Amino acid sequence: MKKNVLIALSLAVFAVNATAADINAGKAKAEAQCAACHAANNDWNKPIDPSYPKLAGQHKDYLAEVLKQYQNGGRNNAIMVGQSATLSKDDISNLSAFFASLPGDLYLKK
């Protein structure tokens, strides 16, 4: 019985690690595709226009969901629909992890 539990736990850990996001790949993609609008002077807390969202420190799940909504028509913005159209599932996971890993100046007071 203990052996079966250990095998199951080992497989679960492997599965989680196999799907873990690659923050470095997210950073590279973000610098190539997102920085022009969302990072004035390479600062992810300062988009080039105040109407553009700050991405640094946002929740990973929120960012992933928003990008998926741009892809499937749930959100409509001419720029973001085009930008998100070519993103793969891994790109979205990696970008979301990268932005979530950054210190952001957005926070909730409790």
In a domain, 14, yes or no: no
Q: Is residue 6 part of a domain?
A: no
Residue 11 covered by a domain: no
| Residue 42 maps to a domain | yes
Q: Is residue 1 part of a domain?
A: no
pTM for this predicted structure? 0.78
59-80 tens-digit pLDDT: 999 999 999 999 999 999 999 9
| HEC sequence for 52-108 | CCCCCCCCHHHHHHHHHHHHHCCCCCHHHHHHHHCCCHHHHHHHHHHHHHCCCCCCC
CATH label of the domain that carries residue 82: 1.10.760.10
Q: Give 24-50 pLDDT, tens digit per residue.
A: 999 999 999 999 999 999 999 999 999
In a domain, residue 109? The reply is no
Contacts of 4 (CB under 8 A, 6+ apart): none
Q: Is position 26 within any domain?
A: yes
For the chain, the domain total comes to 1
Domain limits for position 77: 22-101
